Amino acid sequence: MSRDYRLYLRDIAAEAAFVEQQTADVTFEEFAADEVRLKAILLSLAVIGEAANHVPDAIRKQQPEIPWVEIVGVRNIIIHGYFALNLPIVWDIVTNEIPSLRQSIRVLLDSPTDKEVM
């Protein structure tokens, strides 16, 4: 049995909310120095990427401004290229991309579910 795509969207929204919560009122220096927070955020970004990979193309096309391929790519770098992580880029994703991703995912979650998904 296949998992409903809306569950993946909820996973993305929940992880994005966690990332925002954990980085609110935190400077880059504090973020980079806090190993536990950093690892938690990286896990959340990996989960977001994995979930995004399971969102059907028909749903992705409803929000083309979401950089779906790049989100999955970030997951792949975290999992497979962890030794080459660039913390300023991770910080940029966390502070500049996650809030808009969360809003766009909310639009998808609030949209009617009667559309056929392939």
CB neighbour list of residue 100: distance below 8 Å, 6 or more residues apart? none
Any catalytic annotation for residue 54? no
Burial letters 57-66, b for 16+ CB under 10 A, else e: eebeeebeeb
For helices 35-53 and 68-80, the axis angle rounded to 10 degrees is: 130
Identified catalytic residue from 10, 75, 102, 106: 75
Identified catalytic residue from 3, 10, 60, 80: 80
Any catalytic annotation for residue 75? yes
Q: Active-site residues: which are they?
A: 75, 80
